[in-house]
Amino acid sequence: MLKDKYGKEIEDILSRYPVTRSALIPLLYVAQRDQGYVTESAMQEIAHLLRLTPPQVYETITFYTMFNLKPVGKFHIQVCKSLMCALVGSDTVIEWIKTKLGIGPGESTADGLFSLSVVECLAACGTGPMMQINEDYYEQLTENKLDLILTDLRSTGTSPLKSGPFMWPEPVKT
């Protein structure tokens, strides 16, 4: 049960809104963090918590693209394919990933480590091609950088190549 595990956090979320339904998306994030995807029992529990019907939860969760209704790989790679990234080579990045990991969009590696999705604009158009892996952005991708990122993720679970607070172009001291 989410309530037993995240009781305090759930209470904090609920306290922010005068109407409880507003807490739906934040609570779905809690559920997704717990299991990597939103399970049916989590949806039912959230419906109960917010006094909604299960269909009300389901219609909302299926409207938004960021919720997984099925398990995904430990590292969920999402490559932007919108025009601005495509102009600077996002299709090539997708090909690299296909070759290196042997998976296409919507697929996961057999070891359950990586899943690939091709997504629309992630607001990093000036630093494309780019991808998001779980919560982190990786920008200005090159084949070499991609190799390093995948190696880092395999060995340590994270990569120092992820983006920090965004700024581009960066200031340079004279």
Partner 1 sequence: MAGTGEDVSSETLGEPGTPLFIVRLAFNDPMPKHELILLKNMMQPGYTGSLADYEKTGGYQALRNTLGKIAPADVTAIVRKSGLRGRGGAGFPTGVKWGFLPKDYQGPRYLCCNADESEPGTFKDRQLMERDPHQVLEGIVLACYAIGSETAYIYIRGEMVLGSKILEQAIGEARVAGYIGKNVLGSGINVDVWVHRGAGAYICGEETALLESLEGKRGLPRIKPPFPATHGLYNKPTVVNNVETLANLPHIVNRGPEWFAAIGSPPKSTGTRVFCVSGHVKRPGNYEVPMGMTVRELVYEYAGGMRSDKPLKAFIPGGASAPFLTPAHLDVKLDFEHVAAAGSMLGSGGVTVMEEGTSMVWAALRLMEFFYHESCGKCSPCREGSSWLVQTMRRIFAKRGRMEDLETLLDLCKNIAGRTVCAFGDAEVAPIQSTLKHWRHEYVDLINEAEAANLIRPEPVARR
Q: Which residues bind partner 1 (CB under 8 A)?
A: 16, 18-19, 21-26, 28-29, 50, 59-60, 63-67, 81-84, 86-88, 120-128, 132, 135-137, 163-174
Measured from the CB atom, is 66 or 112 closer to partner 1? 66
Residue among 97, 83, 88 at smallest CA distance from 133: 97
Measured from the CB atom, is 125 or 161 closer to partner 1? 125
Q: How far is the CB of 68 from partner 1 (least distance, A)?
A: 11
What is the Cα–Cα distance from 139 to 62, expressed in whole angstroms? 28
Measured from the CB atom, is 160 or 171 closer to partner 1? 171
Q: How far is the CB of 111 from partner 1 (least distance, A)?
A: 25
Measured from the CB atom, is 147 or 159 closer to partner 1? 159
Q: Which alpha helices (DSSP H) does 24-112 contain, by range?
A: 24-35, 40-49, 54-63, 83-87, 90-101
Element (H, E) at 168: none
Would you tell me how many other CB atoms lie within 10 Å of the CB of residue 85? Answer: 25
What is the Cα–Cα distance from 50 to 106, expressed in whole angstroms? 32
Sheet holding 75-80, edge to edge: 114-119, 75-80, 131-133, 136-138
Measured from the CB atom, is 110 or 172 closer to partner 1? 172
